[in-house]
A and B are shown apart, each in its own frame.
Chain A
Amino acid sequence: EAGVTQFPSHSVIEKGQTVTLRCDPISGHDNLYWYRRVMGKEIKFLLHFVKESKQDESGMPNNRFLAERTGGTYSTLKVQPAELEDSGVYFCASSQETGRGYTFGSGTRLTVV
């Protein structure tokens, strides 16, 4: 079975630009999560989709971040406009059932300069 796929693997953008990260979960996994790790900090939850619906977006830092999940399949996370503090690694994970084991993607390393 294919794992969770994220792209791009790396992105370097200038402050003020827009970046879109994409996550393809494991086929059939209704639950999709976004997390991120900024330098020196622990990995933190951003939001949770169940199919195409946002179940919990309490971890989204501010309204510069917009997540979507089209048709309950892949998800995108857009940062607009990007700020320096947005730099970090953004992880996506999926699971078949809420609260069951997660499978993580390899992450997207975002650098805002």
Chain B
Amino acid sequence: KQEVTQIPAALSVPEGENLVLNCSFTDSAIYNLQWFRQDPGKGLTSLLLIQSSQREQTSGRLNASLDKSSGRSTLYIAASQPGDSATYLCAPFGQGGKLIFGQGTELSVKP
């Protein structure tokens, strides 16, 4: 049974810092992994989709890496801004394409 752990559970940083969010999963037999953000009271916004054949994906200030063999993915946020404050969720794809979520990392970026 796939289990997803995200570390840290919460993070508070001053604006401008570069930061790394970590995600680990127990079953490396995944094929894709997706990172989302969730703003309070809102739905999930897709950030990056990493396919199994890829090792990383980049979008603007975001970079996500995937190491299937070690069961890890990281989300790197460069030059953080207050607007980045949200909960970040990592979700590898399980059997049948269903997503398996971790508890998320709650990020607060202070001006």
A98 to B93, CA, bound (A): 10
Contacts A43-B89, A106-B43; is A99 near B99 (CB within 8 Å)? no
* Chain B residues, Cβ within 8 Å of A48: 96-98
Cβ–Cβ < 8 Å partners of B46 in chain A: 101-104
Known A-B contacts A43-B89, A99-B31, A99-B32; A104 and B98 likewise in contact (beta carbons under 8 Å)? no
Residues in A neighbouring B31, C-beta threshold 8 A: 99
Q: What residues of A have a CB within 8 angstroms of the CB of B96 in the complex? A: 48, 55-56, 98
B100 contact from A4, A33, A45, A98, Cβ within 8 A: A45
Most central of B45, B97, B102, B103 by chain A CB within 10 Å: B97
User: Are B36 and A104 closer than 8 Å at their CB atoms?
Assistant: yes
Measured between beta carbons, the chain A residues less than 8 angstroms from B78 are none
A1 within 8 A of B: no
Q: In the bound complex, do residue B93 and residue A106 qualify as a contact, i.e. CB atoms below 8 Å apart?
A: no
The 6 closest A-B pairs by CB, nearest first: A106-B43, A98-B97, A104-B44, A99-B97, A43-B101, A101-B49
Known A-B contacts: A91-B43, A100-B49. Give 8 more (CB < 8 A).
A42-B4, A42-B102, A43-B91, A45-B94, A45-B100, A48-B97, A56-B98, A95-B97
Measured CB to CB, the residues of B under 8 A from A are 4, 31-32, 34, 36, 41-46, 49, 89, 91, 93-104
